[in-house]
Structure 1
């Protein structure tokens, strides 16, 4: 790597840009060329996703696209963002365990409690072993620095919520993948602006974008023989990595010498991070409320997700994905514009606008049925 660095520096090309472009391109190519092989094997061995209660598709579709995502992320990040695996010793091990759990669930369907236990083990490895945790609330509810045990428990809870929330939004073509690209781009730009020490995280964001772009080429295909889903393997890995990048983003604003004291002037960073990840957070929150109001278990699958409401409006998967992502980009834009507001007020604004978006399609459906 030092030889490669010297070579590009002779041409006045910073090695960071080479890593970013090469990592993104390699991740795309690995996913792009692996998926046809996975589709072929899945069809031959009948490793397909069967339409069910929560499904929005009518035919059996291969659902092991997450294997290609893992391979491209693991290979590309290990080469071009290896600093992350040196700094966070348990990051790679956590990804491998998630791969195993995801593939098992996609093929034989694991019981929910077993999958949850596995997720807790994986997340605890990273939070405790690599110290990837939320150390301050930045004044949310009047709380600043939090104790170690509380920090660990809250960070584990946050990871678990994000992992499963991304699984829940993976209900129509392109939504989980497209939103992952948007989130990675936003975090990547933020890391880039925060300086060279964060460049490995910028490269990781580029690798995620490249890997998911290769997957979306097939996921959004109109040809049935080429179509594939990411499955629980892909959604869990993406939810885990985006949770990782979000917590690292918050941690950048903490001074290690003075825990709980913001390193920069931006004290609303928790609201910014929540705004970037607002879709899975709001969708999960909304669905749980609906299930509890209807006196149903919050763990039983249904069709009360935002994307289901969009489909009931007569939209195609692509159009529903486009409008959902567009609305939540609007949420991020609003929050960024008001980023200097007091953090509690900004969090209230994030949740308020997010929930409005969740109920707009339901309101349109209600008005349409009332008009008929």
Structure 2
């Protein structure tokens, strides 16, 4: 735990100062994108935050490769370097999109290329989650293609929710911390010769880098992470989730009545439940209207919260809360029986539903709307 915490701290410190530098350069050279109708801000803000987050990740992983305990992750293993190479590619693609507004299909090709790099260097899906028994993927080409596809979907999901100050970074911190605790617990309780783990390291670095970036991005934001930052976080989160699939079959989860057989694979989806729900609804909504799934609009979950009557900060905090309940609720299954966890999660979801709808449910809300 100490070494992972030190790597997270390294990522946080580097990300904080690197983001400050990116913000200064963006303002000095006026590296702004035009303000769109769906944007909440009305003053130009640089979108170079992805650089700060990436530098935090880069330095932390380089330090980890030479540090006690965690350096074992890199010994004879190309996977960490593949993740880093894929991250570098997607940051470049994201920066070009932030500054030049690339066509959607060019950005998608860049996402798939980054995903293929990660897959070809060793981080690949080996099983498909299924409740009775995980289905093994025996075909190497299929494993590579599915991995690249999953990484691309995750990158778009994170990118789609990056619409309010502090939203994407905060959701990543909350979800990533739940994932970190789960991945760490799995390895500490397994019978292994080496307890170091790439999934745990990646989630620690994600949390650290986002924590370093968040002070610059909290409302009112002085810099945005842009597509480069959102897609980077998506790639890292997906890579950590795919690595965690290798933990299936350890026997650690049998006491939870079968559910934990696929828990390491389900947790990444619960961590990203809010972004993935937003992504799926956006694709369905736009396709139904005969538009490209990647065409921008003002129909995301955070826009719906604003339309309900929430302010920017309360909308962000609500999405934090939903992410925490879903992610930590899933992670809790590793520690407590499902019949204890499920009622608590359902109760919290009911309470959050009331809070979410309160602007419309509150006495006088209808009259205020009519007025």
Question: Which TM bucket (shorter chain)?
Answer: 0.7 to 0.9
Q: SS state of the match for residue 100, structure 1?
A: helix
Q: Is the 8 A contact 2:155 2:233 kept in 1?
A: yes
Of 134, 158, 161 in structure 2, the residue corresponding to residue 169 of structure 1 is: 161
Q: SS state of the match for residue 130, structure 2?
A: strand
Q: Is the 8 A contact 2:308 2:359 kept in 1?
A: no
Q: Is the 8 A contact 1:69 1:212 kept in 2?
A: yes
Equivalent residues in 2 for 1:113-152 (5 A)? 113-139=105-131, 144-148=135-139, 149-152=141-144
Distance 1:112 1:84, change over 3 A: farther
Q: SS state of the match for residue 38, structure 2?
A: coil
Distance in structure 2 (CA, Å) of the matches to 1:175 and 1:144: 35
Distance in structure 2 (CA, Å) of the matches to 1:27 and 1:333: 23
Of 36, 44, 48 in structure 2, the residue corresponding to residue 60 of structure 1 is: 44
Of 263, 268, 273 in structure 1, the residue corresponding to residue 262 of structure 2 is: 268
Q: Which residue of structure 1 lines up, in the alignment, with residue 31 of structure 2?
A: 47
Equivalent residues in 2 for 1:326-365 (5 A)? 326-335=321-330, 364=360
Q: SS state of the match for residue 135, structure 2?
A: strand
Aligned pairs, how many?
Answer: 338
Distance in structure 2 (CA, Å) of the matches to 1:103 and 1:167: 13
Question: Which 5+ residue runs of structure 2 have no aligned equivalent?
Answer: 65-69, 189-194, 255-259
Q: SS state of the match for residue 266, structure 2?
A: helix
What CA RMSD, in Å, does the superposition of the two structures yield over aligned residues? 3.3
Question: Which 5+ residue runs of structure 1 have no aligned equivalent?
Answer: 1-15, 256-261
Q: Which residue of structure 2 lines up, in the alignment, with residue 210 of structure 1?
A: 208
Deviation at 1:76, TM superposition (A): 1.0
Deviation at 1:77, TM superposition (A): 1.6
Q: Is the 8 A contact 2:15 2:52 kept in 1?
A: yes
Distance 1:237 1:333, change over 3 A: closer
Of 312, 315, 323 in structure 2, the residue corresponding to residue 320 of structure 1 is: 315
Q: Which residue of structure 2 lines up, in the alignment, with residue 281 of structure 1?
A: 276
Which range moves more in the overlay, 330-339 or 238-247? 330-339
Distance 1:143 1:85, change over 3 A: closer
Of 144, 147, 161 in structure 2, the residue corresponding to residue 155 of structure 1 is: 147
TM superposition score normalised by structure 1: 0.80
TM superposition score normalised by structure 2: 0.80
Q: SS state of the match for residue 48, structure 1?
A: coil
Q: Deviations over 1:22-79 (max 9, x none)?
A: 3222222212222222222111211013211432222210110110111111011221
Distance in structure 2 (CA, Å) of the matches to 1:70 and 1:155: 21
Q: Is the 8 A contact 1:31 1:68 kept in 2?
A: yes
Distance 1:331 1:290, change over 3 A: same
Q: Which residue of structure 1 lines up, in the alignment, with residue 86 of structure 2?
A: 94
* Bigger fraction of residues in strand: 1
Deviation at 1:264, TM superposition (A): 4.8
Deviation at 1:291, TM superposition (A): 2.2
